[in-house]
Amino acid sequence: MNYVRNCFFFFYLIAIISCGNQDPKRFPNERSEMAVAMRNMTDAMIKTKLSLNQSEIIPLRFTSFNHNKFTDTSFKSDWFAPMADVLINNAKYFDNNPSLETFQTVVNTCQVCHEKTCPGPLVQIKKLY
């Protein structure tokens, strides 16, 4: 139980820090709820990727972000919610079965979604492989 509480605190702290220190060159768009959620997930994935070669792998612990407001409402489409659910499910699968392969499945999910809409983050996503 302490492990869960410590993990929650750790990710909460990361979220607070990352929201306050966002480099405008790395994140050029405004801070919509969706943009912040995506940035937080990217930061979590970077930390998790670095932990893959360590004895204790950092879980992703992604939560649903379907309710977040978009920077540009034209990005929201009929396929977004199902694709977001696939990402959440793949992240949960990674958390339960951490490996490079399951991590790359999560990255692939991000890439496929961003190839359909909002391609700006693809450069950042490809760095996660």
Domain boundaries, the chain: 33-54+77-129
Two tokens at 13?
């702290």
Segment 79-92 shows an average pLDDT of 95
The pLDDT tens digits of the residues spanning 56-81 come to 999 999 999 988 998 888 888 888 99
The set of residues, in sequence order, having a beta carbon less than 8 Å from that of 104 and lying 6+ positions away, is: 129
The alpha carbon torsion through 10, 12, 13, 16 (nearest 10 deg) reads 160
The pTM score is 0.75
